[in-house]
Amino acid sequence: MQKVVVHVGAPKVASTSIQSFLRRNASGLREQGIYPLDASLMPIKPDRISPMGPDLQFEAILDGAGSVQEKTAALIDRYCRAFEAESRNAKGGVIVWSAKNLTRLSADRSILLAAFGEVARRFDLEVVLYVRRPDLWLESYWKQFALKISRESPARWALRRAEAGYPDFLAAARAWAEAIGRQRIAVRPVDPSALWGDNLLLDFAARLGAAGLDCSMTSENRMLHPAFLSFCHRHANLLFRGPHDVRLFDWAEAAGLFARSDARIFGASVRQRILELLADNNRALLMQFCPAEVSALIPSWCPASGRVEIASGDLDLPQPARVRKQVERAIAWGLAQGLRVQGRLSRA
């Protein structure tokens, strides 16, 4: 039976780095009998321009017309056809595919999970799910998406999300385990004390049976400077067209506006409170799906109960004085005009 490894996310847990690893090592992987597919489920090309990211066709099927049964059948046909086609090249090797949006747990999750349940019956399927300590995940999500659309301070936004039980990696892991079988899913916790930086890509390569490849993390995982992120948050209505607009961030990365490696958006008391709110969920996740890491991670992921007092300076970002704010607004307006010109030139 053909071996297929599917990396399903979660989003904001080095998914971009894993896909970059597959793309830049495509030739080396094939030499070792490992056959990577791009976002459209086609073989990754050696020219490194193959599309990566989310499975957009999956989103189109879910959002399109048709019954649950018809959408499930369409996904089964899509995935099985792609894996069967590549199996003719793999000839007993391993097919690997990564998509960032396969941990979605919305109302239509049953369609995706039912489709992969059928994939598991036709192929030797292994699903890999990387999860991240929740305070770090919320911080990453805020700076990538939420700062562009939420007017709350990052701390208030994150605490509100944690109070609502988010992120819920446990629900994602349980849903996949129920759909394909517990023995087919590997949940790997990403944490500075266990699996971090290049070690994450080394871990993923080891799961594929690959060795001697470029497992270095690239710059897309470096955090931009907190002062720049705060500026973007204050003037988001001018600078961004939506949560997925990355034009300004691309500029900032090209200019090298990165933070120090130890820089953080959330203060220590906010982090502690987030982990307190999600401690029970985290403990169940680690004990059920990550038993080898329990002793190392329980102290940091599941702090002792007892409501921590949020430090007065940790809840809200400092606001600039009136004159500086006016200068900032002018700068933001100028940047917005530059982004518009760049957009027109790119379409010309």
Do residues 243 and 210 share a domain? no
Residue 95, pLDDT > 70, answer yes
Q: What is the mean pLDDT of the segment spanning 65-90? A: 94
**How large is the average pLDDT for residues 172-196?**
92
**Chain mean position to CA 218:** 15
Asked whether the predicted pLDDT for residue 259 surpasses 90, the reply is: no
The 3-state DSSP class for residue 278 equals coil
Amino acid identity, position 83: F
Q: Report how far apart, in Å, the C-alpha atoms of 200 and of each of 18, 86, 132, 192, 303 are.
A: 9, 26, 11, 10, 24
Q: Residue 108: pLDDT above 80?
A: no
How many domains would you assign to the chain? 2
**Per-residue pLDDT, 344:** 84
CB 239 within 8 A of CB 224: no
Q: pLDDT tens-digit profile of 266-304? A: 999 999 999 999 999 999 999 999 999 999 999 999 987
Which pLDDT belongs to residue 219?
Answer: 53
Q: Sign of the CA dihedral 83, 84, 89, 92?
A: positive
Specify the pLDDT at position 244. Answer: 86
- Residue 70 covered by a domain: yes
Would you say residue 116 lies in a domain? yes
On whether both 230 and 209 belong to a single domain, the answer is no
Same domain, 85 and 125: yes
* Between 219 and 46, the higher pLDDT residue: 46
- Return mean pLDDT, the chain: 90
Q: Which residues contact 320 (CB under 8 A, 6 or more apart)?
A: 234, 328
Average pLDDT score over residue span 184-193: 92
Q: What 3-state DSSP class applies to 319? A: coil
Within this chain, do residues 61 and 207 fall inside the same structural domain, yes or no? yes
Between 124 and 46, name the one with better pLDDT: 124
The per-residue pLDDT for 192 is 85
Tens of pLDDT, residue by residue over 149-178, are 999 999 999 999 999 999 999 999 999 999
- Could you list the residue range(s) of the whole structural domain that residue 71 is in? 3-133+167-218
- Percent of the residues in the chain that have a pLDDT greater than 70, as a whole number: 97
Closest CA to 54 of 104, 5, 94, 96: 104
Q: Which of 47, 177, 26 is nearest to 98 (CA)?
A: 26
pLDDT for the residue 348: 67
Instruction: Find the radius of gyration of the CA atoms of the chain.
Output: 21
Is 253 buried (19+), middle (13-18) or exposed (0-12) by CB count in 10 A?
A: middle
Domain harbouring 8, CATH code: 3.40.50
Report pLDDT for 342. 86
Same domain for 209 and 228, yes or no, is no
Asked whether residue 185 is assigned to any structural domain, the reply reads yes
pLDDT for residue 107: 62
Identify the pLDDT of residue 220: 54
Q: Is the same domain home to 122 and 228?
A: no
* Same domain as 238, residue 105: no
Cis omega (within 30 of 0) for bond into 10: yes
Task: Quickly state the pLDDT bin for 252 (edges 50, 70, 90).
Answer: very high
Q: What is the pLDDT of residues 113-161, one digit of tens each?
A: 999 999 999 999 999 999 999 999 999 999 999 999 999 999 999 999 9
Confidence grade of residue 322 (pLDDT, cut at 50, 70, 90): confident
Q: What is the pLDDT of residue 106?
A: 63
Would the pLDDT of 346 be above 80? no
Separation CA 13–CA 141 (nearest Å):
10
- 3 burial (CB, 10 Å; 0-12 / 13-18 / 19+) is buried
Asked whether the predicted pLDDT for residue 91 surpasses 80, the reply is yes
Answer yes or no: is 78 within a domain: yes
